[in-house]
Amino acid sequence: MSMKVTIDGIAIDVEPGTTILNAARQIGGDVVPPAMCYYSKLKDTGGKCRTCLVKVSKGSEKDPRPMPKLVASCRTTVMDGMEVQNITSPEVIEARKGIVEMLLINHPLDCPICDQAGECDLQNLGFEHGAVKTRYEFDRRTFDRIDIGDKIQIHMTRCILCYRCVFVADQLTDHRIHGILDRGDRSEISTYIHHAIDNDFSGNVIDVCPVGALTDKTFRFKNRVWFTNAVEAHRDCDKCCGKVTLWYKGDEVLRVTARKDQYGEAEEFICNICRFDTKFTGDWVIDGPRKVSNKSVISSNHYEFRPLPVVKINHVLQEANKEQFERDTRL
């Protein structure tokens, strides 16, 4: 039994238990709400950042009353006959603008030096929904950078407390030694994080971080992502799928990441050996260039071959001259 839900005027049938966010993702395009904390590959994520708020203008066929408040689409399941407004609701757009302002209360606008620039969901949200000025008059929170082992560095000043790295440690490794300390504006990712996070899949905390709080020390400050060429490759690995994206500058592999889908989520998580220890072309079988959305800054200077038009230029000129001759004759 499927359920019918309408999002921004577009109807779709989905399975029971599907959230509004995932229903929108099945439709695709601009009707998909942004999500900073939800990650489909990790259980129990979502409900933290509130950027995916939507308006339910009709609850269901049985109860057509609208929901009294905006709801988090990543946590709200669809009902048969539900009608949802995302980009068609001025109330949602205004609320999302307020959420972005709240996220930027402490997050520094240091995009010129941040390695996440060009791949940052918050950067995109700030561009689309951000205000020119902020009403916040107090000093921002500041933290010292902390090395998590020899490959990862955390910059808590940029952290938005999405919990993704905590869920990765919970679900991909045999133990975790970090989490959220304190409450309110004093919350931070900390406790045993000063010790090395040492397990085979610890590098995935870098891929899931939606901002520049967790960065790859082997790539840090080496280059801008839009100056690199992304190539998909694979290798035989006994620990993970071995399917990755290689980021080249000339002939040098600057970094290795998991392959990501259109929502910036890792298709499959990779191990640290693939990520940190195999940065030579000879270690990989190249599958071809990575498809980059033309809406992304990463697509800058990336060109694809396009076939020439079938219609010959001479034919076009002849038709143009014929039309001009007919106009002159009528005159």
**pLDDT tens, 239-290?**
999 999 999 988 889 999 999 998 889 999 999 999 999 989 989 999 988 8
Domains, the chain: 3-102 (3.10.20.740), 222-331 (no CATH)
| For residue 310, pLDDT beyond 70 | no
DSSP letter at 19 equals: B
In this structure, the number of other CB atoms found within 10 A of the CB of residue 7 comes to: 26
Which distant-in-sequence residues (6+ apart) come within 8 Å of 148 by Cβ?
154, 193, 196, 197, 202, 214
Max mean pLDDT among 49-53, 172-176, 214-218, 248-252 falls in 49-53
Q: 71, exposed or middle or buried, with CB in 10 Å at 0-12, 13-18, 19+?
A: middle
**pLDDT tens, 132-179?**
677 878 888 888 888 877 888 888 888 888 989 888 888 887 777 777
In this structure, the number of other CB atoms found within 10 A of the CB of residue 149 comes to: 15
Q: 55, exposed or middle or buried, with CB in 10 Å at 0-12, 13-18, 19+?
A: buried
Asked if 293 contacts 299 with a C-beta cutoff of 8 angstroms, the reply is yes
